Amino acid sequence: LSRTLAWPLAEVESQATLRMTVQRGPIQLGLLKEHGLCRFETIESGQEAWYRLEPGTHRFCVAADEAFQAELAARSGKVCLDLE
């Protein structure tokens, strides 16, 4: 996969559940851990990945071709996502 992105998630106020649905993929998605390490999982077109996040700041990492399409939705809790 040709492109890697990192998105900070800020201000998770209470436990939150996020869902990533991939319309066009595959993509590799994971949470960035200490020391810049990311444990990726591969999500194919039509598949979903679910994440339960505790309060605090989290950072997702995504590796995908530029033509990928996916939807990130908060299913519970309050999450502020900064895409800059």
Residue 7 has pLDDT above 70, yes or no: no
Sign of the dihedral through C-alpha 66, 71, 74, 75: negative
Rounded to an integer, what distance in angstroms lies between the CA atom of residue 26 and that of residue 65?
A: 8
Question: What is the distance of C-alpha 10 from the center of its chain?
Answer: 13
Rounded to an integer, what distance in angstroms lies between the CA atom of residue 84 and that of residue 71?
A: 17
Report the predicted TM-score, pTM, of the whole model to 2 decimal places: 0.74
pLDDT at 58: 81
User: Could you tell me the two tokens for 76?
Assistant: 């519970």
What lies within 8 Å, CB to CB, of 73 at 6+ separation is: 18, 19, 21
